[in-house]
Amino acid sequence: MDLDLQQIGLSHPRIKQIVDLQRNTASNRAGMLPVEGLWAHNVVRETGTQVEVFLCCPEAIYSDEAKLRATQLVAIAETSYRISEKTLARITERDKPDGLVSIVRMPNWQRGDIEFGETALVLVADGLEIPGNLGTLLRTMDAVAADCMVLTNRRTRMSHPKVFRGSHGMSLSVPTVDFDEVTEAIDWLAGHDFTVYLADTESAVDYRKADYRGRVAIVMGSERFGISRPWYERGYGGIFIPMLGRSDSLNVSVSASVLLYQARATLGGAEGRPR
């Protein structure tokens, strides 16, 4: 393929930026996200995500689709460069990233951007620490057509590469709003007339018997410490998933999947399609 692009190497500042973003080691207030490979760039195009930098390695592009995507990315990226296979190997984590690497800007949803209908489904992630779990939650939320994720006591960046991979790119399309204080999130949900349920293994209500009608928010706690105290101080009801074996709990992303699908089945309004 013939793309007239400036060639850059390992010493270029953009290469260092991508390495830092991949390792999640530098400040990232602008919400920049490194993406690599054809599937990831397909998500970027489908969601209309802003591409700040596109890096192309023609020698590593093997499919006609990837060649077409490279041409399209050059057209929409603010800046594009050509890189060698050696540089590509340095900045990517996939075995075969299709010769496509970009730095994109994460969406910045504001609370006022979120509009709810008569029925709505929200997941609250309170203090989750593992990026892969957060990503899996976002992927499940997309699957059940949830309205948004609320973050409280945030412990990981939404721009963490493992969140993007765990969500299969859905971190670019599922609206997410972040609250500095738990009480702010509680007041926001109350202002929108949400019924709030706390996912707690010690709760008294089986998740299959809860009332999910109207606007419902389900709160999932951190992997180590569970749900933070301010949520309990508001007197919200709890729901639990019965454990029939010897284990006393499920992984947070598995638990959320069970609860979200039960809530969606009650709320209705999203028939979906087979996968």
- Tell me the C-alpha to C-alpha distance, in Å, between residue 73 and each of 37, 41, 113, 185: 12, 8, 28, 38
The secondary structure of 117-180 as a DSSP string is -SSEEEEEEES---HHHHHHHHHHHHHTT--EEEEES--S-TT-HHHHHHTTTGGGTS-EEEES
- What are the tens digits of pLDDT across the range 46-98? 999 999 999 999 999 989 999 999 999 999 999 999 999 999 999 998 777 89
121 φ, ψ (degrees, to nearest 5): -130, 120
- C-alpha span between 154 and 69 (Å, rounded): 35
Residue 275 has pLDDT above 60, yes or no: no
Using a 10 angstrom Cβ sphere, with 0-12 exposed, 13-18 middle and 19 or more buried, the burial of residue 173 is: middle
3-state secondary structure of 113: helix
Q: Are 77 and 53 in contact (CB under 8 A)?
A: yes
Residue 236 has pLDDT above 70, yes or no: yes
- What are the tens digits of pLDDT across the range 184-201? 999 999 999 999 999 987
Q: Enumerate the β-bridge partners of residue 120.
A: 215
Tell which wins on pLDDT, 24 or 227: 227
CATH class (in words) of the domain with range 111-267: alpha beta
Give me the pLDDT at residue 93, please: 83
Residue whose entry in the numeric block shows the structure tokens 């390695």:
57
CATH architecture type of domain 13-105: 2-Layer Sandwich (3.30)
Give the closest residue to 47 by CA, choosing from 105, 113, 91: 105
Write down the pTM of the prediction: 0.90
Q: Going by C-beta distance under 8 Å and a sequence separation of 6 or more, which residues neighbour residue 238?
A: 197, 198, 199, 200, 202, 203, 204, 205
Residues in the chain: 275
Give me the pLDDT at residue 225, please: 86
Residue 274 has pLDDT above 50, yes or no: no
Domain range list for the chain: 13-105, 111-267
Residue whose entry in the numeric block shows the structure tokens 């400036």:
6
